[in-house]
Amino acid sequence: MSLRNRVCDLLGIDVPIVLAGMGGASTPKLAAAVSNAGGLGVLGAAACSPEDLRAWIRETRELTDRPFGVDTLLPASVRRGKTARAAAGGPSPMEQIPQHQEFAAKFLEEQGLEIPPPSVASPAENDTATFTKGFFEAQMEVVIEEKVPVYAAGLGNPGPWLERMRANGTRSIAVVGAVRHARQVAETGVDIIVAQGHDAGGHNSPVGTMSLVPQVVDAVGDIPVLAAGGISDGRGIAAAFMLGAEGAWVGSAFLATEEAGILDFQKQAIVDATEEGTTVSRSITGKPARQIKNRWAKAYEEAPFAPLPMPFQSFISSPIMQAAMAADRADIWPGFAGQGIGMIRSVVPAAELLNRLVEETEAALARRI
């Protein structure tokens, strides 16, 4: 049985299995390995500066002649400046930064870690700091200048850039977690929609994958849908087809590959985890994101205040992630991951994983009940 379908024709690939854009993890090496094996590798470029993004695109082109994608974020809340404003009567996120910095410093001290020098600019001082409106727009200019084969918006609607991307031959993907968002991106004319459910690692929908996928399929007419969230083996991909999807956007399973850009202790945390090993928290980016259970997320659960909205929370959390990674502390920052990690047992080359996913999907589809 061949898995080849119209998603393959649209994207110029052999099998409709896409490496999800995963910030920091889906690097040029991993994306190229997946593309070379016949899937679509998508760079997790959300936190890349425009210069780093350009370098990543060029590096990927050195490693593969096949199509690949770039994933960044375009959250509507940040683009409208909504999250920078104060809640009625309360202090603005900008005014709350010192309180959260103090909380982070105390947390690091309690954990026996040094406060690292700042690696990202404050959104209070710099209007192109990480995850600000200016940052997202500058990334999009690079996506357009570099004429990438595929662009994926991990949050938000790429509508304003579609015409320029289309003129370059760039295919567009939008990741959604609700039917109303699926309708919005369908109306602006994206080529493919990813329905990403609550099981997924990283930014997350309140709706489970099994419920979300068929409802998105029904809402978007003839636009192909890829399923995402909790798909870590071929049974999940076969199930996605049964739900009306035409392929899968797979994240966490590719974290346990030799090429993934995360640290060895984080790969081990994935192999060690069970299906109960994750939690959803706003403690890293300010938006709800599924991650392996950790002390930083727990500290916010117990704090008298909630994390700041995007883009402010990354400024607070990045020193924590940096310190944890320098000290191999899986208890503090093991990383984002989805509920499917209970199925992941070892770290393998990405091509081996892709081939296994294809074989398992074919076997599951061939099985009779």
Residues that bind ligand FMN (CB under 6 A): 20-23, 25, 44, 46, 71, 73, 154, 175, 196, 199-203, 228-231, 249-252, 255, 335-338, 340
* Minimum distance from residue 77 beta carbon to ligand FMN (Å): 15
Letter for the amino acid at 289? A
Q: Which of 291, 286, 298 is nearest to 96 (CA)?
A: 286
Residue 8 or residue 269: which is nearer to ligand FMN going by CB? 269
Residue 96 or residue 269: which is nearer to ligand FMN going by CB? 269
Residue 107 or residue 249: which is nearer to ligand FMN going by CB? 249
* Minimum distance from residue 291 beta carbon to ligand FMN (Å): 8
* Minimum distance from residue 112 beta carbon to ligand FMN (Å): 26
Paired sense of beta strands 17-19 and 40-44, if any: parallel
* Minimum distance from residue 153 beta carbon to ligand FMN (Å): 8
Residue 96 or residue 150: which is nearer to ligand FMN going by CB? 150
Task: Return d(Cα 231, Cα 340) in angstroms, integer.
Answer: 6
* Minimum distance from residue 355 beta carbon to ligand FMN (Å): 18
Task: Return d(Cα 12, Cα 68) in angstroms, integer.
Answer: 9
Residue 71 or residue 259: which is nearer to ligand FMN going by CB? 71
Q: 320 with 104: CB under 8 angstroms? A: yes
Q: Which of 141, 134, 202, 191 is nearest to 166 (CA)?
A: 191
Supply φ then ψ for residue 249, to 5 degrees.
-110, 105
Q: 336 with 115: CB under 8 angstroms? A: no
- Bridge partners for 153 per DSSP: 72, 174
Distance of CA 31 to the CA centre of its chain: 13
∠ CA 21-200-328 to the nearest 5 degrees?
75
Supply φ then ψ for residue 150, to 5 degrees.
-140, 135
- Bridge partners for 248 per DSSP: 17, 227
Task: Return d(Cα 265, Cα 122) in angstroms, integer.
Answer: 29
Task: Return d(Cα 57, Cα 76) in angstroms, integer.
Answer: 25
Task: Return d(Cα 111, Cα 265) in angstroms, integer.
Answer: 18
Residue 203 or residue 282: which is nearer to ligand FMN going by CB? 203
Residue 96 or residue 120: which is nearer to ligand FMN going by CB? 120
Task: Return d(Cα 346, Cα 271) in angstroms, integer.
Answer: 6
Residue 44 or residue 234: which is nearer to ligand FMN going by CB? 44
* Minimum distance from residue 126 beta carbon to ligand FMN (Å): 21
* Minimum distance from residue 265 beta carbon to ligand FMN (Å): 14
* Minimum distance from residue 369 beta carbon to ligand FMN (Å): 25
